[in-house]
Structure formats: structure tokens, C-alpha cells
Amino acid sequence: ESGSYGLDGHPDFMRKEMAEQPEAVRRALRGRLDARFATAHLGGLDLDPMALRAVRRVKFLGCGSAYYAGQIGAGMVESLARIPADAEPASEFRYRNPVVDPDALYVAVSQSGETLDTLAAVQELRRKGGRVMGAVNVVGSAIARECGSGVFLHAGPEISVASTKAVTTMGVSFAMLALLLGRVRDLSSAAGTRIVGGLQALPDRIEAALELDAQVAEVAQRYAKSQHMFFLGRVSGWPVAREGAQKLKEVSYVHAEAYQSAELKHGPIALIDADMPSVVIVPNDDLVAKNLITMEQVKARGGPVIAVTAVDLPASAADVVIRVPDGEPELDPLVLGIPLQLLAYHTAAALGRDIDKPRNLAKSVTVE
């Protein structure tokens, strides 16, 4: 425990921190949304509109869940600002002698601000003249200091090794960054207003997604004995699937593999049988019909399908349909992640795992 930050009646910190997400998101948004000009203000980002317009590329760097959050961010930047964007594990970036693009904006993503690989990536970038901002939770941490500018996540203290509220606030910060970059380019004020509204509604939407708890707990009990699980998604659902698989592995020790839905048929579909459930992520985007085909393909091989969806699906599409509340589709990845956190949590609980202190893991990895 850190100082006065206690469990407040929750059985463990992961549970407490999942429950705190609506409040954490409210804090992350506070004072940053501008309804009048349909944009966001990120005070710690020392870039004027001309400098923002000059950004030709955005690259998110982080490790583990921070990397997956960065991949969600990259998708938002591409779709709202139409700037090429991607994410890369900081641990790979630092070792591969990267070409540093002076016209790119690099975003170093870290809850703790102490992850050695991410810090080393920032140092490598700065040595080569790269422009790097932080997206960090802990104020005064090594990465926050090294970056000098950026956004704080305002998630509040996170004790559980499995990151939940920090990951969600990372996504919220990147939605605001994407909005800001979009609004100095071609994102219309009407579209900006829609995203501002979607962000304002997000805390309640997440609150409602947390109410899926009982349904997800039942699903977890039903599948907890599985040796393996697939997490499938495409485009904006893909990083959500990756983060869901990582969370399940971390706290329950059930082997999970995330895969791009359309890649399944190129090999891994051979693994599908009655003992291999697939969690399929369905955002409210143009690819719903494609995701239905994925579910069909899995079912046709006898694999159980758990759909986590932001659209209504026919009951026959999956063995279980977990439906998150409606909202602006660009923000769906942030809400679809909530039932996956709950699935990891309840699977771990069903298997009697030490949820806050999974074996072999530390809260922040400050070694090579």
C-alpha cells in the first residue's frame, strides 16, 4: 500500500482500481476539453498550432500494456487527424538503431515513468534530436523528467501489478491528442464536437460497462478451466484484443493469444476446437459484418465464441454476447477493454490466483 491509499473495502487493488475508472477518466479529462472550439487543450504539450501542423508522423513507444494503449492511440490519431501513426515496443526501438524522424512526434507511454526500456528509448530519441513527449502517470518520475513535456494521466496511484485504470487513461489522453491534432488539420468542428461529447460521456459509459460484472463473472467461471484462449480483433479491435490477452495471462496464468481476426485463417485456425474459446472484439465500425464471418469460422470448427461488442448482434452469432453501452465509435476501444479486465480478474479469482501480485512480475520493470 502507498500512504493512505488503502483497499477501502475492496478485496484487492485490481478490483478497486477497475472500479475507480470512471473517476480516473473524469480527472484525466478535467479542464482539457474545449466545447466551444471542439478541441482539447493539453497544457503540458508545448507545441503551438503551427508546430502541431508540422507533425508528419506520430509514434507511440511503451512496454506491455502501455505499448498496447499506444497502439490504440495510433489508431485514433490516424482516423481523427489522418497522420500516419504507429506504436512500437520501446524495448525493440531502443535496440534497433532506429531512424529518428525530425518531423515526427514521439510519445513515451508509461504508468510508472520508471520502465527502463522506455526511458532508454527516450534517451536514444533525445540524443538523435527527436521530439518526444511523455504520457505518464507518476509526476516527477524519470520518464516525465526526461521528456520535459507531455500529458499526465491523472489516473491516481495504481498498486495492482495488472494495470487497468492507467491503461484506460492512456487511451483517453490519446483520444484528446488525436482530437487536438485533427482540429489543426481537417477534422471539422462538427466532428470535433461529436468527439468532445463522446469523451464527456465516457465516464458514465465506463461505469455502465463495469455493471457487466456479474455476466462476465459467470463467463469466467464457465471457461476458467480452458488451457488456452484466443482474443481476436481487427483494426481498432486488435489492440483491445492484445491488451485483453495480456491481462488474462498476467493474473490468471491461462495462456492467451491475441490474433488479427483475418489472419486466423492463415494458420492458427488449426488450433480451434471445443476446448479453445475465442473472445471476439466487435467495435461499432465498418467491419461488423467481417467480424461476424470470423465468429462463423470459429463456430464452424466447434470453438466456443465470446463476443465483446459495441453493437447488437444476433444471439446466434456467439455462445455469449457481452454488450457494452453505446457511444461515439472512435472511443469504443476504451470501453470494450473493460469487460476484458473483468474477464481476467474473475478467471484469476476462479482459479484462486494472487491477483495483485502475480508470480514472476513486478509493478515496474527497471532492469534490462
Catalytic residues: 363
Of 21, 39, 91, 110, which lies in the binding site for ligand AGP, with binding defined by CB under 6 A?
Answer: 110
CB of 293 to ligand AGP, least distance (A): 31
Helices (H), 211-315: 213-223, 237-252, 288-300
Query: Which residue type is seen at 106?
Result: Y
Taking the C-alpha atoms of residue 244 and residue 339, their distance in angstroms, rounded to an integer, is 9
Which single residue brings its beta carbon nearest to ligand AGP?
64
Residue 349 has phi, psi (to 5 degrees) of -65, -45
Q: Which helix (H) or strand (E) holds 75?
A: helix 65-81
CB of 158 to ligand AGP, least distance (A): 8
Question: In this structure, are residues 222 and 235 in contact, taking their beta carbons and an 8 Å threshold?
Answer: no
CB of 120 to ligand AGP, least distance (A): 12
246-265 positions binding ligand AGP, by CB under 6 A: 250
Taking the C-alpha atoms of residue 74 and residue 352, their distance in angstroms, rounded to an integer, is 36
Stretch that binds ligand AGP, among 2-10, 104-112, 173-181, 253-261 (CB under 6 A): 104-112
Closest by alpha carbon to 142, among 176, 187, 108? 108
Check residue 63 for interaction with ligand AGP (CB under 6 A).
yes
* Count of residues of this chain found to bind ligand AGP when the rule CB under 6 A is applied: 15
Check residue 163 for interaction with ligand AGP (CB under 6 A).
yes
* DSSP annotation of 316: G
Check residue 64 for interaction with ligand AGP (CB under 6 A).
yes
For the record, the C-alpha cell of 130 comes out as 527527436
Check residue 235 for interaction with ligand AGP (CB under 6 A).
no
Q: Which is nearer to ligand AGP, 58 or 248 (CB)?
A: 248
* DSSP annotation of 2: B
Q: Which helix (H) or strand (E) holds 39?
A: strand 39-40
Stretch that binds ligand AGP, among 112-120, 178-186, 223-231, 296-304 (CB under 6 A): 112-120
For β-strands 85-89 and 57-62, DSSP reports them as parallel
Stretch that binds ligand AGP, among 5-13, 63-71, 96-104, 336-344 (CB under 6 A): 63-71
* Binding letters toward ligand AGP, positions 116-135, x by CB under 6 A: --x-----------------
Taking the C-alpha atoms of residue 90 and residue 93, their distance in angstroms, rounded to an integer, is 5
Q: Which is nearer to ligand AGP, 144 or 272 (CB)?
A: 144
CB of 60 to ligand AGP, least distance (A): 12
Q: Please name the residues in contact with 105: beta carbons below 8 A apart, sequence gap of 6 or more.
A: 47, 55, 57, 58, 59, 131, 132, 133
Check residue 159 for interaction with ligand AGP (CB under 6 A).
no
Stretch that binds ligand AGP, among 20-28, 97-105, 160-168, 288-296 (CB under 6 A): 160-168
Q: Which positions lie near ligand AGP, rule CB under 6 A?
A: 63-66, 110-112, 115, 118, 161-163, 250, 364-365
